[in-house]
Structure 1
C-alpha cells in the first residue's frame, strides 16, 4: 500500500532531536545501530534526540551523512540546532549558475536526436533538447503549466499515458520512483503531487491489476513503449546527478536521457531529428 502522508517533523519549529529521530526511523535504524555507525555512544545519541544534549555541527553532519539526508534538510537541522546553514541555494537562472546551466544544456543538445531533459527536485522539466520538445508538444495545455512535471505528464490519462502501450509496466515503475522520491525528500509538494497522481482513473485501475508472471525471459530494462504517428517507439532512460555538490539546486538537479531500445526506434528518431 502506498502511503501519502508525512510526519510533521520537517515543519518549521521542530527540534533537531525530533528531526534526527524521524529520519533515523525512516531509514529503519535503531539508536544502537546509528550510534555504532557514527562512533558515539547510544546514550549520547539518545540525549541528542530527546533534547538533553545539544549536538555539535560536526556531529549533525556525521549523522546526516550516515542517514543520507538531503542538503536542504541538513540546512534545516543546522538552523534547528542554532547553527548557520552550510549549503547555498542558487537558482539555475542566476549568473553564478550560468556555466552549469550551459553545460547541462550542451549535454542535452549533444544527446540529440534522442530526447533529454533536466529535472528539479519535484521532477519538473527545467531544461530540454529539441527532441524532448517534440514529445512535449503531444501534451494538452493543462499539463504544460505552470511547469511540465514528468510524473503528471507521464501518468495523466491525457498525457503520455495515452500513447504508452506498456502502461502497466512503465506506470508501475514511475509510481515506484515517485514513492521513493516522496520518502527521501519529505516534501509536501511531492506528497500533494503523489496524491493527485494516485487519483487518476488509469492509475487507480493500474493499482488494482494483479501482477502477471512472465513466461518468457524478462528484459534487462523496463522500456517505455509508445506509439507515435503509426510507429512503435521503445525507449529506456538513464538518470545522472552531479558529484559532490555543495549547492542545494545542484544536489537536487538530475538529467534524464532517453535512448532507443531497438533499431526501429533509433532509425525513427534519427529521421525525425533530420526533419
Structure 2
C-alpha cells in the first residue's frame, strides 16, 4: 500500500517545479510571501525567486518552508523531489518489521479501549486496524459496502451501510462531510476529493443536502453525537481522533486512531453488556 501511495503522489507532482508547488501550498494556507519569508528567515525577494524558478532552494530551505506551511510528510517528499533532492521521510507498510513497536502500541491502545469501539484509519480513511468492539458498528453491513478495506465514509454514508440505522443522519452526515472537506484542504489529496465526489453522489446524501447547514445546533450540544439503532436499543456515542505527535515515517504520520465513547449511561450499559456483542456475531 505504501509503495502505491508514494507512486501516486510522485506522479501527481511530476513535471511541476518546486517553486510552483511552494506557491500552491502558500496560497492554500493563505500566507503572504512576506509573512512566510519572516517565519523562515529569508528575504521576500529570495522567496519570490524560489517561487518563480529563478533560484533553486537548498533542501534545508525546502523543509523549512514545508514546516511553516504545515505540508504533510508525503508532500514534503514530493517538494524535495521537485527540487532535485532525495526524499527525506521513509514510507513503510504497517506490517513492516521496523513498524512492529508502533503497531503493537496501537493495538494495545485499541484493545484497552474495549468494550468501546476503536479503529485506526489511514489518510484515505480506510480502516487498517480495529478492536473487537468495532464489530458493533459494522454488524449487518453487506460485504460489497465493506470491501476488503472498509472506508469510514462509505460505511457511514452509503445507503446500504450505517446510514439507514443512523437516527441523526442529517447531523452526522453534515459533520462527516465537513471533516472530509477539511482533510482535502489539509492534504490536497485527489483520492480524498474523489471519495468526496462519490459519497456526495449517494442518493440519500443528495436528498439531505439542502438540510445540511454550517450553522451551530440550536440545542448547544458540545459534541456531535453518532446515534445508531441496534436491536437492543439506540447507541449514542462521540469520537476522538488521536495521531502520533512526532512521526518521521509517512505511514505513521497519516494514521489516526478513532475511539468511540458512550455519550450516556444507557449506551455505556449496552456497549458493556453481552447483548450487543452477541448480536454482532450472528
Deviation at 1:40, TM superposition (A): 1.4
Task: Give unmatched runs, 5+ long, in structure 1.
Answer: 1-8
- Partner SS for 1:44: helix
* Residues 241-252 of structure 1 aligned to structure 2 (within 5 Å): 241-252=243-254
Match for residue 184 of structure 2?
A: 182
What is the alpha-carbon distance in structure 1 between the residues aligned to residue 67 and residue 25 of structure 2?
11
How far, CA to CA, are the matches of 2:212 and 2:20 in structure 1? 39
| Aligned CA-pair RMSD | 2.0
State the shift of 1:130 in Å: 0.7
Equivalent position to 1:50, from 49, 52, 55: 52
Match of 1:236 in 2: 238
Quick check: 1:164–1:227 contact (8 Å CA) kept in 2? yes
Cα distance, 1:185–1:236 mapped onto 2, change above 3 Å:
same
Contact 1:10/1:19 (8 A) holds in 2: no
Shift of 1:182: 1.2
Matched with 2:263 is 261
Distance 1:192 1:216 in 2: 32
Are the counterparts in 1 of residues 238 and 260 from structure 2 also a CA contact under 8 Å?
Answer: yes
Instruction: Give the 3-state SS of the residue equivalent to 1:235 in structure 2.
Output: strand
Aligned to 1:172: 174
**1:21: which partner in 2?**
23
Write the distance in 1 (CA, Å) between the matches of 2:126 and 2:160.
Answer: 18
Map of 2:104 onto structure 1: 102
TM-score (norm 1): 0.92
**Contact 1:54/1:81 (8 A) holds in 2:** yes
> Does the 8 Å contact 1:197/1:203 carry over to 2?
yes
TM-score by length of 2: 0.90
Distance change in 2, residues 1:165/1:244 (3 Å): same
Residue 138 of structure 2 corresponds to which residue in structure 1? 136
Which residue in 2 is equivalent to 1:226? 228
Residue in 2 that maps onto 1:76: 78
Shift of 1:76: 0.5
Q: Is the 8 A contact 1:10 1:186 kept in 2?
A: no
1:214–1:58 Cα change, 3 Å: closer
CA distance in 2, matches of 1:39, 1:63: 10
Q: How many Å separate the matches in 2 of 1:210 and 1:93? A: 40
Judging by fraction of residues, say which structure has more helix. Answer: 2
Q: CA deviation at 1:214?
A: 7.7
